[in-house]
Amino acid sequence: MKTAKPVSIEKIVKISIVVMMTIVTILTVFGAASYFYFTHDLPSIETLRNYKPSGITKIFSEDGKVIGEFFYEKRQVVPLDRIPNYLIQAFVAGEDARFFHHKGLDYVAILRALFRNIFSGEIVQGGSTITQQVVKSLLLSPEKSFARKIREAILAYQIENYLTKEEILFLYLNQIYLGHGAYGVAAAAESYFGKTVEELNLAECAVLAGLPQAPSKNSPYQHPEQAKKRQIYILNRMAEEGFITSSEASKASKTPYAIRGEEKPSVESAPYFVEYVRRYVEEKYGKDALYKNGLQVFSTIDLHYQKTAEETMEAGLREIEKREKYPTADIPLAPEGALICFDLETGYIKAMVGGRDFRKSQFNRVIQARRQTGSAFKPIVYASALDNGFTPSSVIVDSPIVFEWGDKKWKPKNFEGKFSGPITLRNALTHSVNVVTVKIAREVGTDYIKSYAQKLGISSPLHNDLSMALGSSSISLYELTKAYSVFANQGNLFKPIFIKRILDRDGNLLEENLPPFYSEASSKEEQIIAPQTAFLMTYLLEGVVKQGTGWRARSLGRPVAAKTGTTDQFMDAWFIGYTPELITGVWVGFDEERSLGENETGAQAASPIWVAFMSKILKDKPVKDFPAPQEGIEFIKIDPKTGQLSLEKDGILECFREGTGPTQREPSPIKTSTDFFKYDFNFSAKP
């Protein structure tokens, strides 16, 4: 029997080498194939250097306060040097203690987290590094799979070789979700504590650092006890890692912190104005720019003016409710109001009240509501008359007149149902005489008045009949106030400004709107009507305050030009008035067609709101006179009843365009017109 030859050591070595080489080759090929498989479609890490996440578009008031925010993700990107060291250390201690020592993966931390979680009975520590969390948040989808974890590890290693530790921390601290819509530490600091990130103390830093593992579970809003538990854990970890002492940790754990009330859908300061700005930005720059690009919108709204406007509006409406005894349980019976205030020097919108409660109705009654204006339209008729041969002393006969059209008749009426006989144009406007206004409109022509109104900035459709003179057309408060602004602006086109400038997230200027006197480009104002006509209208409207329906405004103790307006059945009450500094328009009424109540006129319902607002705004400000044109104006003493020259003590000093004043003691005859026109036979205006 033959015995087997023993295998030589040399042969064993050769076989072993072959086997090992085969295994190495297989592993190398498998590894290369796997690496190619997992890396062939990896996202580029180069995009991390141009980190521009979705940001918050902020709207600022004139004094720099945030009055509105728009975003998909509430995030404020802040540089690392603005983030307190305590906050950085708290996140590192709680999330990745060996962050500054590993290259993207920390196997020691993975094992440590496993044992801690087993012994605690709950997940108190994660195994992912900060770098892996950056990968998960910025480069990969949130799917949970073995393949994604491998890709995550590869990208984490690549990032560690591409970015510095500080750059990784910058990405992490600005990107991480910390609950309740807050992304990044800056947004979280504001949401939870109402502070900037720089203002956080150690106790607050530890609260934020306890959120990443489970933002909802550890929310100080919803689970304050769990949030406190996590805070103490973070402080202890900071002490263990040598970032703070044990005594500092103990002291911080006992430091009280005030959690800001949980944020609800926000109703900003000046909500109707903010919504007006939002619509403009979205229309001009697009939805993504508004909600993602972190724009900075600097507006003109003055929060002192705005608060005063809201308070006086609410007080005025409550006074009407009290006076008319509306049923308080019947919510639809609540009257609404609107107010707009422009600075005449700059064009800035200083206050905008679009209604009583933005939460109940976002309908902006300053911009969107078009209502009949009643006698508030009359100044446009009278201004057009001044440009067609009429003067303040022109005499028109206030007497009954009937217009016939087919089988229909229209007999315009005065508010009190009485007629005054011959009356000057001044007195007709002062006392808001309907019949005289209609006769003037007939003489001037409805087409001319319509084009005149459009020239002043009114874009709403206007009736092409004589009822237009009494305010039968529906116009927005914004339009009508802007039209009056031409009178106050010495005949120049008035261009309201509601946004001063818009910057992108990097501070680059996207848009700037300067007042006329700030730049040569905007200083060339467009002359709409003659400055002499504008001043005459101001002078006449001062008379409405001194002797007419605008009498309440006399309480300001300064020059005021104004006009009231009331529509049929007291459905709409208006008061638009201006001083040399400001112009403010007020409207009061119901959203539906409903009477405010008997005798709730512009003088009774709207002017008290205007007076209360302007009194508070102009308090302690110097009294100014309306500026007169340097030429083309003359003052002549006349008889206020006849419009003739007067040397008597009861004469008044009237203003005329140079060369148009009376030269004799007899009034000039008024021209008549035989034009044909259509009529709204059911309309008559009230003062």
Catalytic residue positions?
95, 375
Residues pairing with 264 in the sheet: none
Q: Are 73 and 183 in contact (CB under 8 A)?
A: yes
> How many other CB atoms are there within 10 angstroms of residue 11's CB atom?
10
Residues pairing with 572 in the sheet: 589
Residue 549 φ/ψ, nearest 5 degrees: -70, -15
- CA-to-CA distance for 210 and 176, rounded, in angstroms? 12
> How many other CB atoms are there within 10 angstroms of residue 316's CB atom?
24
Q: Are 582 and 343 in contact (CB under 8 A)?
A: yes
> How many other CB atoms are there within 10 angstroms of residue 73's CB atom?
17
- CA-to-CA distance for 523 and 514, rounded, in angstroms? 9
- CA-to-CA distance for 317 and 339, rounded, in angstroms? 12
State the SS3 of 258-289: CCCCCCCCCCCCCHHHHHHHHHHHHHHHCHHH
- CA-to-CA distance for 507 and 197, rounded, in angstroms? 20
For residue 288, give every residue at least 6 positions away whose Cβ sits within 8 Å of its Cβ, in sequence order, or none. Answer: none
DSSP string, 157-218: HHHHHHS-HHHHHHHHHHH-B-STTEESHHHHHHHHHSS-GGG--HHHHHHHHTSTT-TTTT
Residues in the chain: 687
Residue keyed to tokens 């600005």: 174
In three-state secondary structure terms, 395 is strand
Rg (CA), the chain: 38
From the number of C-beta atoms within 10 Å of its C-beta (0-12, 13-18, 19+), residue 682 rates as exposed
- CA-to-CA distance for 146 and 159, rounded, in angstroms? 20
H/E element, 657: strand 652-657
Beta strands in 40-141 (DSSP E): 57-60, 66-70, 74-75
Q: Are 365 and 355 in contact (CB under 8 A)?
A: yes
- CA-to-CA distance for 196 and 599, rounded, in angstroms? 53
Q: Which residues of 444-463 are buried (b: 16+ CB within 10 A; e: fewer)?
A: bbbeebbebbeebbbeeebb
Residue 329 φ/ψ, nearest 5 degrees: -80, -15
- CA-to-CA distance for 417 and 684, rounded, in angstroms? 11
Rounded (10°) angle between helices 531-547 and 378-386: 130
